[in-house]
Amino acid sequence: MLDIEPAAPPSTLKEPWGEPPMGMLAELTHRCPLQCPYCSNPVELERVAGELDAAAWKRVFAEAVELGVLQLHLSGGEPTVRKDLEDLVGEASRLGLYTNLITSGVLLSEARLLDLKRAGLDHIQLSLQGATALTGDRIGHYKGGHAKKLELAKAIGRAGLPLTINAVVHRQNLDELEGLIDLALACDAHRIEVAHVQYYGWALANRAALMPTRAQLERATAIVDDARVRHAGRLMVDYVIPDYYAKRPKPCMGGWARTVLNVTPSGAVLPCHAAQSIKSLTFPNVQDHDLAWIWQSSEPFQRFRGTDWMPEPCRSCSFKEQDFGGCRCQAMALTGDAANTDPACEFSPFHDLLRLTAEDEAASEPPAFTYRRPLANAPAMGTPGLVGATKGMS
């Protein structure tokens, strides 16, 4: 019959490493003019001197296609700081990749946008930090940024490029969620991604300043549900919930090394952008190995792939093929052992502490942001654990 399956491909490939990856996130640089306190980049930002050049990236794109990657997300940092971006988009498009640019938009001129379109760009994701200039500029720590973003959104419409608005939400901008959805409609975006902050790297360091209350979360969920109905067929609303208040963890990255891979500016290959927080793993680099070997055989990709690595309670749990035990980086950050069940799961012995931590932090005055910037310029900061627990307690 006429089926259209979002799930697994009609697999003839039953290799020990499972399926080939479908998507690749290429972090072209960690440079960025904005300083969002929830940035998903690692706290130790990579330097420009170590960035792969265009020739190296092109080779990685070609290897990715050979391996089965269909979609390429050009990200950062801010990918448009790279002068060779048009060249990279052109090559990705020539290779047949569905090419998506994830940008803060503040550096992108209309002329350059048209060049990117000509080079074959398929889609743009533009971030908004708030619905008003006051909030947006404060959170991105970039004066005039919000206005530039709205200008760019208009130019994207004029260029006829499809647009998704990325809205990362937290206690300091959730009151503007309706406004963010209205802006997405006004910008003629076909999709908005409303994503509650996920607490790794910079976001973990800023958790107390970002954690919403349960009431804020419930209100946000109601707004999203309502918008989905009201704007059905016109605006898709994708929603990522904060798992500190959840009962079950999210299937992080669709399972470790299962559908996507991430390449850092200097060429390290990771199963997810936060994976370098697991210090016991050494991630291979595209300058030393080809992508197929990295995906199929390298130790860090095998380490948490599938379900065989799982301890209890995941091992004997019927949800293990659905959520793959949640997020390894969150388990690492909050329980001190990446092989533990994600504490977002109600069956984790750390789960109650997680909920209490969220409630505790959300109820307190928010501390000042630690803005994302290269470490030499950043104030000293610690990484918070859970209330009443110290990191490493397990």
Residues at the contact surface with another protein, assessed by CB under 8 A: 1-13, 20, 22-23, 66-68, 70-71, 96, 98, 100, 122-123, 125, 160, 162, 164, 188, 190-191, 193, 232-234, 236, 238
Q: Which of ligand SF4, another protein, none lies near 228, with the C-beta cut-off 5 to 8 A by kind? A: none
Residue 376, contacted partner among another protein, ligand SF4, none, CB below 5-8 A by kind: none
| Cα 270 to Cα 257: distance, rounded to the nearest angstrom | 8
Helices (H), 206-327: 207-210, 214-230, 291-297, 299-303, 320-323
Q: How far is the CB of 106 from ligand SF4 (least distance, A)?
A: 8
* CB crowding 211-229: b at 16 or more within 10 Å, else e: bbbeebbebbeebbeebee
Type of residue at 253: M
Cα–Cα distances in Å, from 290 out to 40, 90, 287?
26, 22, 8
Site string for ligand SF4, 361-380 (x = CB under 6 A): -----------x--------
Query: Nearer Cβ to another protein, position 93 or 206?
Result: 93
Residue of 323, 333, 370, 385 that binds ligand SF4 (CB under 6 A): 323
Tell me the C-alpha distance between 41 and 264, whole Å: 9
Residue 314 counted as an annotated binding residue: no
Give me the least distance between CB of 321 and ligand SF4, in Å please. Answer: 8
| Cα separation values, 84 from 13, 88, 116, Å | 36, 6, 11
Q: Compute the least distance from the CB of residue 168 to ligand SF4, in Å.
A: 7
Quote the longest CA-to-CA distance of the chain: 60
Gyration radius from the chain CA atoms: 20
Which of another protein, ligand SF4, none is residue 23 near (CB under 5 to 8 Å by kind)? Answer: another protein
Q: 39 among the known binding-site residues?
A: yes
Window 338 to 357, contacts with ligand SF4 (CB under 6 A)? 341-342, 345, 347
Closest to another protein by CB, 101 vs 281, is 101
User: Which residue number, 33 or 68, has a Cβ lying nearer to another protein?
Assistant: 68
Piece of the chain touching ligand SF4 by CB under 6 A; list 52-60, 90-98, 221-229, 314-322: 314-322
Contact status, residue 177 vs residue 220, Cβ threshold 8 Å: yes
Binds ligand SF4 by CB under 6 A, chosen from 24, 25, 26, 32: 32
Query: 234, 254, 251: which is closest to 243 by C-alpha?
Result: 251
Q: What is each CA distance from 99 to 86, 164, 286, 384, in whole angstroms?
A: 12, 13, 20, 36
The token duo for 277 is: 């927080």
Residues near ligand SF4 (CB under 6 A) are 32, 34-36, 39, 41, 76-78, 104, 127, 248-249, 313-314, 317, 319-320, 323, 325-326, 341-342, 345, 347, 372
Annotated binding site for [4Fe-4S] cluster: 32, 36, 39
